[in-house]
């Protein structure tokens, strides 16, 4: 891997670090301190190997160690053999303490890494939900889902591996220092051998890891997209007998994904077996070297034992560090995707949730409003002018693509006009007050979104379960002609509607959507083909309810079925993004009869 790539990967972690909360940062600092303590305990337990092996192989020489001789004289121990049990006990105790502490460090680092991942996932989701409507229309939901569910998990793994890398560096460094104290020559050989091998491994594998990181990121998105489309459109999949198409598409992308992941895993694990072989060869060479010494191998046995224990500690630590490095490099593209989502500017003010609704007393005026989507020069709305008085019922008609829904999106504040002004009681709507303006609006679309929750939760959409006013829920359901149906269900209003309302009909979904809008008790009601799935009798009843609502409530109705608009005060006809006519219901019906 080139130096620039190396720097970029760790710069990437530095960029992600800026989005970690202060509390988590302090917890990471504590982790590093715990790692240092764990490293010191390893050094102590490793240092205890020499006296432990020495007393087993040559008890007389143990008293030559000043510290042990001091304690032996202090406690009146004259025979070296009497030191076997206490030194063995101390050695075992140190090993147990060191092991327990390492488990504790593992628990702390894992916990903090996953909590950090939770924080980042929540942050990405919050920022994504607070993006303007145009951002959502131009973005694939599968990419967002992939980033929040899969790629942020990669960030968790990255923080864990980064901590593992730090722990490995600290532990390996302390072990090597201890080895250097024991035998500088052997330690130098070990340091040079390990360093050269792992640097060569990282250099040879890094480009492939970077390439695979891009393959993994792209195919994760495609796999999620396939699952969304296949399961989300299961009715059409079954009718069209297209299971094989979706399965094959899934297999294609999932195979590429798994192949790239398997190669990355293989590249991360391969050095382990090679370095173990090298370590065994080094120990064999050292044993041969010591055996040829005039003092014999026995005198070097404590040192050899210390080297063996050090290798047993050092090899896993070095391999963990290398695994961490390959994981960071292999997650490069996914980390970039998450970072881009974390960088999203929140255009809607955070204080908006606490703001009261933008007060609407008299009128809404559109002054020369035009709109085109950011990715297109085509004007969806072109020079719209009208004035609506509070309490009016306004009908909107026009062919598909005439701009009806875009006009409603501008009224609701979901889209901000490319040019022109929207005035409410003479005050201009802008990006600073759009969120509070939205509090005035309840919207019912042709396709009503339902959550996999109870009827009462779907009617009181977005409200905490404990705060739902069941009396208002039932009242809204009554107005929407859905109360009797819900009451007849097994658990009444506590009955689950099923994922996306699969258990109920399109007409029942629309009535729940109308009940939801009425529950909000907003001053503006937008109905976008909201009765299209209802039978004539039910629609007639609901229209009477709408007509009988508070006279201060302003209603916009988009409809293809002309009878839906009979309660409208005025009807605007759109064509090619312009209002071409303003009619009454009688004029509309007369024109339709003439056709």
pLDDT tens-place string over residues 291-317 = 655 555 555 555 666 666 666 566 666
Q: How far apart are the first and last CA of the chain?
A: 73
Beta strands, E only, 115-247: none
Alpha-carbon gap, residue 201 to 114, rounded angstroms:
29
Q: How many whole angstroms separate alpha carbon 415 and alpha carbon 432?
A: 13
Which domains does the chain possess?
A: 3-342 (1.20.1560.10), 350-594 (3.40.50.300)
- Give CA separation, 269 vs 142, 323, 389, in Å: 32, 7, 71
- What does the block give as tokens for 381? 């709305």
Instruction: Please say whether the beta carbons of 204 and 325 come within 8 A.
Output: no
What are the C-alpha distances in Å from 308 to residues 53, 84, 93, 314? 12, 21, 19, 10
On whether the CB atoms of residues 286 and 306 are closer than 8 A, the answer is no
Tell me the pLDDT of the chain (595 aa) as tens digits: 344 444 455 677 777 788 888 888 898 889 888 888 887 887 777 666 666 666 666 666 666 666 666 676 766 666 766 666 777 777 778 778 877 887 888 788 878 877 887 788 778 778 777 777 777 766 666 666 666 666 666 666 667 767 776 777 777 777 777 767 766 776 677 667 766 766 676 677 767 777 777 787 778 777 777 776 676 666 556 656 777 777 888 788 888 888 887 777 777 666 666 766 766 676 666 666 666 555 555 555 556 666 666 665 666 666 666 666 666 666 666 677 777 777 777 655 444 444 555 778 888 899 998 988 877 778 888 888 989 898 888 888 888 888 888 888 888 888 888 898 988 888 888 877 887 888 888 888 777 777 778 888 888 887 888 888 889 989 888 888 888 888 888 888 888 887 666 677 777 888 888 888 888 888 888 888 766 666 777 777 777 777 766 677 888 988 777 777 888 888 898 888 898 888 887 887 777 666 5
CA angle 258, 261, 266 (to 5 degrees): 120
The average confidence (pLDDT) of the chain is 75
In degrees and rounded to multiples of 5, residue 77 shows phi and psi of -90, 115
Any bridge partners for residue 582, and if so which?
572
Pairing relation of β-strands 393-398 and 554-558?
parallel
Residue 71 to residue 346: CA distance in whole angstroms: 67
d(CA 140, CA 137): 8
Q: What is the dihedral of CA 500, 504, 507, 509, to 10 degrees?
A: -30
* CB of 150 closer than 8 Å to CB of 17: no
């Amino acid at each position: 891997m080139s130096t620039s790539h190396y720097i970029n990967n760790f710069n990437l972690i530095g960029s992600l670090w800026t989005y970690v909360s202060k509390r988590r940062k302090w917890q990471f600092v504590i982790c590093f301190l715990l790692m240092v303590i764990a490293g010191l305990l390893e050094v102590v337990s490793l240092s205890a190997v020499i006296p432990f092996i020495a007393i087993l192989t040559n008890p007389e020489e143990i008293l030559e160690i000043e510290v042990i001789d001091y304690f032996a004289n202090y406690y009146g121990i004259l025979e070296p053999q009497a030191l076997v049990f206490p030194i063995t006990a101390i050695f075992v105790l140190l090993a147990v303490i060191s092991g327990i502490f390492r488990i504790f460090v593992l628990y702390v680092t894992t916990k903090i890494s996953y909590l950090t991942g939770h924080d980042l996932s929540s942050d990405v989701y919050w920022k994504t939900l607070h993006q303007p409507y145009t951002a959502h229309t131009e973005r694939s939901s599968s990419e967002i889902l992939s980033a929040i569910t899969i790629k942020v998990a990669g960030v968790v793994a990255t923080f864990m591996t980064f901590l593992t890398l730090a722990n490995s560096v600290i532990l390996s460094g302390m072990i090597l220092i201890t080895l250097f104290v024991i035998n500088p020559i052997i330690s130098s050989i070990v340091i040079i051998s390990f360093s050269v091998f792992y640097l060569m491994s990282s250099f040879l594998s890094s480009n492939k890891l970077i390439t695979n990181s891009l393959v993994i990121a792209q195919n994760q998105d495609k796999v999620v997209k396939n699952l969304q489309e296949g399961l989300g459109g299961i009715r059409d999949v079954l009718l069209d007998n297209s299971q094989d198409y979706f399965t094959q598409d899934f297999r294609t992308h999932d195979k590429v994904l798994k192949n790239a992941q398997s190669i990355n895993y293989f590249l991360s694990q391969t050095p382990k077996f090679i370095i173990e072989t090298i370590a065994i060869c080094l120990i064999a060479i050292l044993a041969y070297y010591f055996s040829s010494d005039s003092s014999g191998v026995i005198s070097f046995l404590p040192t050899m034992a210390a080297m063996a224990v050090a290798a047993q500690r050092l090899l896993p630590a070095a391999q963990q560090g290398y695994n961490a490095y390959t994981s960071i490099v292999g997650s490069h593209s996914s980390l970039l995707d998450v970072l881009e989502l974390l960088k999203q500017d929140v255009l809607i003010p955070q204080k908006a949730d606490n703001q009261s609704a933008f007060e609407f007393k008299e009128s809404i005026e559109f002054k020369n409003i035009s709109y085109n989507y950011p990715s297109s020069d085509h004007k969806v709305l072109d020079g719209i002018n009208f004035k609506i008085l509070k309490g009016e019922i306004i009908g909107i008609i026009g062919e598909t693509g005439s701009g009806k829904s875009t006009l409603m999106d501008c009224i609701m504040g979901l889209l901000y006009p490319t040019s022109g002004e929207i005035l409410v009681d003479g005050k201009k709507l802008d990006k600073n007050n759009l969120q509070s303006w939205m509090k005035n609006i309840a919207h019912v679309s042709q396709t009503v979104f339902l959550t996999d929750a109870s009827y009462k939760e779907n009617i009181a959409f977005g409200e905490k379960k404990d705060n739902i006013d069941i009396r208002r829920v039932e009242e809204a359901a009554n107005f929407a002609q859905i109360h009797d149906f819900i009451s007849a269900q097994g658990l009444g209003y506590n009955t689950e509607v099923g994922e996306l309302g699969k258990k109920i009909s399109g007409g029942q979904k629309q009535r729940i959507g109308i009940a939801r809008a009425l529950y909000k008790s907003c001053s503006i009601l937008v109905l976008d083909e909201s009765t299209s799935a209802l039978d004539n009798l039910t629609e007639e009843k609901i229209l009477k309810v709408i007509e009988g609502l508070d006279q201060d409530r302003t209603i916009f109705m988009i409809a293809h079925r002309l009878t839906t608009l009979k309660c409208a005060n005025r009807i605007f006809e759109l064509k090619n993004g312009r209002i071409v006519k303003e009619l009454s219901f009688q004029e509309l019906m007369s024109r339709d009869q003439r056709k």
